[in-house]
Structure formats: structure tokens, C-alpha cells
Amino acid sequence: MPYDHRFGRRVDPVWLTVSQLCRRWQLSRKTVYKFITAKTLPAWKVGSHLYRIAVEDVLRLEARNKMPPK
């Protein structure tokens, strides 16, 4: 977890990459991309082929589907 020296506390990342989400959920990249394509999981497209997923959306989806917290 990164450390924010300005506030003297640790801060969590606000965005996750597809790879980070794959590790978190123990799913393949193909499955995560299916969630994005189906608009089940909101994602921001960065550049021509990179995506970022807001942690807030990940937590919301986990809560809605009763996934255990990580």
C-alpha cells in the first residue's frame, strides 16, 4: 500500500488495472474483459487498449454479488 507523505498515512489505489483485478478475483483476463464488454463492470479506456477500473466499482460489484472481501 502506498504511503502519502503529505498526510502521514497510507492510501489505497483508486484505480486497478485489468491484471490487478484478475489477481484479486482469481479470474482470467478474458473473463474480466467479458465483464467490461457486457457493461457489468464499468471501466475507463486509457489509450488504445488499456483499461482502468475504479476500486469503488469493484467493491460495489463484490458487495452486490456477495464476494468475500480481499
- Structural domains of the chain ordered from first start: 3-64 (1.10.10)
pTM of the model: 0.76
pLDDT digits (tens, 9 = 90+) for 16-69: 999 999 999 999 999 999 999 999 999 999 998 899 999 999 999 999 988 776
Residue type for position 11: V
Dihedral angle sign, alpha carbons of residues 63, 18, 47, 37: negative
Task: Work out the end-to-end distance of the chain between its first and last CA atoms, rounded to an integer number of angstroms.
Answer: 13
Which residues, in sequence order, are CB contacts of 15 under 8 Å at separation 6+? 44, 52, 53, 54, 55
Cell of 17: 488495472
